Structure 1
Amino acid sequence: MTTSIIPSLENFYDVTQQNQNHYSRACTLLWRRGKLLVKPPGRVKLPYLPSLNNQRSLVECLKHSPINLVSIDAKLGEDLLQFWADACEQAHKPIFLRVSPSNKQLKQSNQTLRWLQRIIDWIVAFSLLLFLSPVILGLIVLLQFYSPESLFCHEWRVGEKGKLFRAVKFSTTPNHNITLLGRWMHRYSLNNLPLLFNVLRGDMSLMGSRSSTLADAIQLVEEKFRIQNTEFRNLSVR
Structure 2
Amino acid sequence: MTISIIPTLQNHYVLPEPHQSDRSPYCTLLWRRGQLLVKSPKHIKQPYLPSLYNEELLVECLKHSPIKLVSIDSKLGETWVKFWAEACEQANKPIFLRLPSGNQRLKKGNSLSRKLQRVIDGIAALVLLILVSPVMLGLILLMQVYSPGSIFSHDWQVGECGRLFRAIKFCTNEGHNITPLGRWMRQYNLQNLPQLFNVVQGDRGLIGSRCWTLEDAVRLSLEAQKELNQLPNAWEINPEINLLNLDGQTL
Please confirm whether the aligned pair reaches a TM-score higher than 0.5, indicating the same fold: yes
Alignment length (residue pairs) = 231
Q: What is the identity, as a one-letter code, of the residue corresponding to 1:97?
A: L
Aligned to 1:12: 13
Aligned to 1:64: 64
CA contact (8 A) 1:171 1:191 kept: yes
Between Structure 1 and Structure 2, the one with more helix by share is 1
Q: What is the identity, as a one-letter code, of the residue corresponding to 1:228?
A: L
**Percentage identity across aligned positions?**
54
Aligned to 2:164: 164
Determine whether 1:49 maps to 2:55. no
Q: What secondary structure, in the 3-state scheme, does the structure 1 residue paired with 2:155 have?
A: strand
Listed one character per residue, the Cα deviations across residues 29-54 of structure 1 (whole Å, up to 9, x for unaligned) are 11111111001112334210111010
Aligned to 2:81: 81
CA contact (8 A) 1:152 1:169 kept: yes
Return structure 1 stretches of 4+ with deviation > 6 angstroms.
Answer: none
How far 1:98 moved relative to its partner? 0.6
How far 1:11 moved relative to its partner? 5.0
C-alpha separation between the residues in 1 aligned to 2:43 and 2:70? 22
Q: What is the identity, as a one-letter code, of the residue corresponding to 1:74?
A: S
CA contact (8 A) 1:6 1:49 kept: no
C-alpha separation between the residues in 2 aligned to 1:4 and 1:131? 46
CA contact (8 A) 2:170 2:194 kept: yes
Greater RCO between the two (CA within 8 Å, min separation 6)? 2
Is the deviation greater in 2-11 or in 151-160? 2-11
C-alpha separation between the residues in 1 aligned to 2:10 and 2:125? 48
CA contact (8 A) 2:4 2:29 kept: no
Aligned to 1:186: 186
CA contact (8 A) 1:168 1:198 kept: yes
C-alpha separation between the residues in 1 aligned to 2:191 and 2:209? 20
Q: What secondary structure, in the 3-state scheme, does the structure 1 residue paired with 2:82 have?
A: helix
Aligned to 1:21: 20
Q: What secondary structure, in the 3-state scheme, does the structure 2 residue paired with 1:107 have?
A: coil
Q: What is the identity, as a one-letter code, of the residue corresponding to 1:76?
A: L
Is the deviation greater in 98-107 or in 200-209? 98-107
Q: What is the identity, as a one-letter code, of the residue corresponding to 2:124?
A: V
Q: What is the identity, as a one-letter code, of the residue corresponding to 1:13?
A: V
TM-score, length of structure 2 as denominator length: 0.84
C-alpha separation between the residues in 2 aligned to 1:109 and 1:98? 16
Runs of 5+ consecutive residues of structure 2 not aligned to the other structure: 236-251
C-alpha separation between the residues in 2 aligned to 1:148 and 1:7? 47
Aligned to 1:114: 114
Task: From the superposition, tell whether residues 230 and 143 of structure 1 become closer, same or farther in structure 2 (CA, over 3 Å).
Answer: same
How far 1:109 moved relative to its partner? 4.2
C-alpha separation between the residues in 2 aligned to 1:8 and 1:199? 38
C-alpha separation between the residues in 2 aligned to 1:62 and 1:31? 13
Q: What secondary structure, in the 3-state scheme, does the structure 2 residue paired with 1:106 have?
A: coil
C-alpha separation between the residues in 2 aligned to 1:158 and 1:175? 24
Is the deviation greater in 192-201 or in 35-44? 35-44
C-alpha separation between the residues in 2 aligned to 1:75 and 1:146? 42
C-alpha separation between the residues in 1 aligned to 2:179 and 2:205? 29
Task: From the superposition, tell whether residues 3 and 28 of structure 1 become closer, same or farther in structure 2 (CA, over 3 Å).
Answer: closer
How far 1:200 moved relative to its partner? 0.4
Runs of 5+ consecutive residues of structure 1 not aligned to the other structure: none
